[in-house]
Structure 1
Amino acid sequence: MPDIFFNTLVDKLKTYFISGGMPEAVATLVATGDVQATQQVLQDILNAYVLDFSKHADNKDIPKIQYIWSSIPSQLARDNKKFLYQTVREGARARDYEDALLWLSHAGLLRRLSLLDPIAVKEGNRLFTEFKGALTENFVLQHLVACFEGTPRYWTSGNQAEVDFLLQVKNDIIPIEVKAEENVRGRSLTIYNQHYNPPVRLRYSLRNLKMDDGMLNIPLFMVDYTEKLLNLRR
């Protein structure tokens, strides 16, 4: 893809990140170009989420949901993305909080909830790399869930390697790596390939579209073209 188009699409993706992908926020940003108005729309949605806690959740779960809700940014900012109940509250145990966590399992709005200022859109690739790439991983995951059946999993091999997502496409299991910038160095997909020899490996990054020795690199802004690109290679 020529740089003149590629770089423009990366800038558009940054704008999308600011909106959080929420329809009302997207519409506001497109119609007005006003980032602060978009911020207010997102804050209103966040406030509505909090009100939903008291309207729809069991009374016993409301305080727990609020604790979990507040902990989401810090949960995702760690190198190890495994959910830690101790981050929610000291002494918290899974059996006490799992119902509240399930209630929040489909919540979005991470960028606004984390208080990341929209000025990050002008700071190179910071918007993609902030919180150790958690924003970008969530962006990719949301699109994969919308485009494919089933819930993507992940794979780990002790302390050697960790693949961000495993996606089942027909009868194939495809490993996926998400990189929040142009630096795509990593050995996890290589180790996975040595173990299982998948038909193709996927990597989302800020590099151009390219197929190289079984590795299909897809620019982040083309994540919703994944199914089409996989079909083209068959």
Structure 2
Amino acid sequence: MKRFILKKLIAWKNSPYRKPLILKGVRQVGKTWILKEFGRNYYKNIAYFNFDENEEYKQFFETTKDVNRILQNLMFASGQKIVPENTLIIFDEIQDCPKVINSLKYFCENAPQYHIACAGSLLGIALAKPSSFPVGKVNFMQIDPMTFSEFLIANGDENLAAYLENTNTIEPIPDAFFNPLYEKLKMYYVTGGMPESVLMWTNARDVSAMQEALSNIINAYERDFAKHPNISEVPKISMIWKSIPSQLAKENKKFIYKVVKEGARAREYEDALQWLIDARLVHKVYRSNAPGLPIAAYDDLSAFKIYLVDVGLLRRLAHLAPTAFGEGNRLFTEFKGALSENFVLQSLLTQFEVAPRYWTQNNPPYEVDFLIQRENDIFPVEVKAETNISAKILKKFKELFPDKVKLRIRFSLDNLKLDGDVLNIPLFMADYTDRLIGLALNKQ
């Protein structure tokens, strides 16, 4: 498998401002694999320490802040060799190790010659706690589920991935590429981007093994709910998690607490929802009142939508069978196009610094699926799971905010084209949204 984050890891290694690295990402998204792969290919040696498998290693960080003594103890205990600059030191499963996390400050200040990369399944939770943390002394990196482009490479479709990578004009995609990309995207909706699920499909074409892989990942996440420090929150986390397909199946996908449980109130479930957000198992998209800058200044904090970390996990959690793959556009249109929205959001989150928002108007009812901030511009985004669609909502948005809209973006199953100021992007090109916007703006 090829993961594009490797380029960022190489840049981190070569940076003169390199600090200890914290790699964040959900369980089974490939954190340990990519760090070991990075170490094997770009260092002479790897020193790997797993604080879940070897809890006794934590003691070395509790008795001293001297990093040379810590490393000496780790080498003696594990039999591994550490040479400054030639060794990638990996601290794994550090989410329950506040002393290890805090030690990164001293590695940064007193031993910058060591290359240290850390990972952990629930690091988002650990870092959200008000404990001693090395602010400004670490580099952060986020690893997300495999993108559609990464899926294509894993599936042996390097030619299709290369075609997308080298598209640098806004013109229709030839059928020889469009049709297979459309079919491969349906398969991606089925497998999602979790590496184990992708592996079960790309290596063995085993649908049942792929289904089981996704079920096992979901079960592992649900077991993690019990790690919330307040045991009374665990059932609430579980209920919110299981309600997500129902939330997204509504015409208006705004998160409603009463869908979680009849009579539920926000204040009773806010902490449980925040746990899922901190764990990055779900993405929270706020409603925006207007397309102004900065986009966060116009958030309506009382209204938001919730999406899952991965489109394949959403399909599995919703119990939508893989046989939908062979039923025309069903995967794209099922439960109000929620899989397509989830997929597009995943792609946008990896490309833009600011998280997307959405916009609605009540009377008459209009909803723009996403607003994205690119540099100092706001772009309305509509996600459609059909072909030959109108741009009624995007048209209304421009009428309301004529001076704010340079370009309107629509994802659909139609071909790539620029129609006035409406850029239609085929869903399978979502990974290249940022570049396509740039090309469209230069063409206007």
Aligned 8 A contact 2:413 2:427 in 1 = yes
The Cα of 1:185 is off from its aligned counterpart by 2.5
Counterpart of 2:362 in structure 1: which amino acid?
Answer: G
In the other structure, the counterpart of 1:184 is 389
Counterpart of 2:251 in structure 1: which amino acid?
Answer: D
Aligned 8 A contact 2:237 2:272 in 1 = yes
In the other structure, the counterpart of 1:89 is 261
List, as ranges, runs of 4+ consecutive aligned residues in structure 1 with deviation greater than 4 Å: none
Q: 1:16 to 1:63 in 2, by over 3 A?
A: same
Query: Aligned partners of 1:101, 1:111: CA distance in 2, in Å?
Result: 20
In the other structure, the counterpart of 2:318 is 114
Give deviations 1:59-104, integer Å, cap 9, x for gaps.
1210101111111111110101111111111111000001111222
The Cα of 1:58 is off from its aligned counterpart by 2.7
What is the aligned counterpart of 1:142 among 346, 358, 363? 346
Query: Aligned partners of 2:252, 2:361: CA distance in 1, in Å?
Result: 14
In the other structure, the counterpart of 1:214 is 421
User: How many percent identity over aligned positions?
Assistant: 57
Q: Does 1:66 align with 2:238?
A: yes
Counterpart of 2:271 in structure 1: which amino acid?
Answer: D
Query: Aligned partners of 1:57, 1:229: CA distance in 2, in Å?
Result: 45
Q: Does 1:79 align with 2:262?
A: no
Q: 1:50 to 1:85 in 2, by over 3 A?
A: same
Alignment of 1:126-165 (within 5 A): 126-160=330-364, 161-165=366-370
Aligned 8 A contact 2:237 2:273 in 1 = yes
The Cα of 1:55 is off from its aligned counterpart by 2.4
Q: Does 1:167 align with 2:339?
A: no
Aligned 8 A contact 2:228 2:234 in 1 = no
What is the count of residue pairs matched by the alignment? 234
- Deviates further, 195-204 or 132-141: 195-204
Give deviations 1:159-200, integer Å, cap 9, x for gaps.
332110000001100000000121422411001111223110
Query: Aligned partners of 2:229, 2:373: CA distance in 1, in Å?
Result: 33
Aligned 8 A contact 2:371 2:378 in 1 = yes
The Cα of 1:129 is off from its aligned counterpart by 0.7
Q: Does 1:229 align with 2:401?
A: no
Counterpart of 2:397 in structure 1: which amino acid?
Answer: Y
The Cα of 1:149 is off from its aligned counterpart by 0.8
In the other structure, the counterpart of 1:44 is 216
The Cα of 1:57 is off from its aligned counterpart by 5.0
Larger radius of gyration: 2
Which structure shows the bigger proportion of residues in helix conformation? 1
The Cα of 1:56 is off from its aligned counterpart by 4.0
- Provide the alpha-carbon RMSD of the alignment: 1.2
Give deviations 1:6-28, integer Å, cap 9, x for gaps.
11100000111111221211122
In the other structure, the counterpart of 2:274 is 102
- State the TM-score, normalized to the length of structure 1: 0.96
- Deviates further, 169-178 or 148-157: 148-157
- Deviates further, 179-188 or 133-142: 179-188
- State the TM-score, normalized to the length of structure 2: 0.52
The Cα of 1:35 is off from its aligned counterpart by 1.1
Query: Aligned partners of 1:91, 1:34: CA distance in 2, in Å?
Result: 43
Task: For residue 127 of structure 1, give the secondary structure of its aligned residue in structure 2.
Answer: helix
Gaps of 5+ in 1: none
Alignment of 1:192-203 (within 5 A): 192-197=397-402, 198-203=405-410
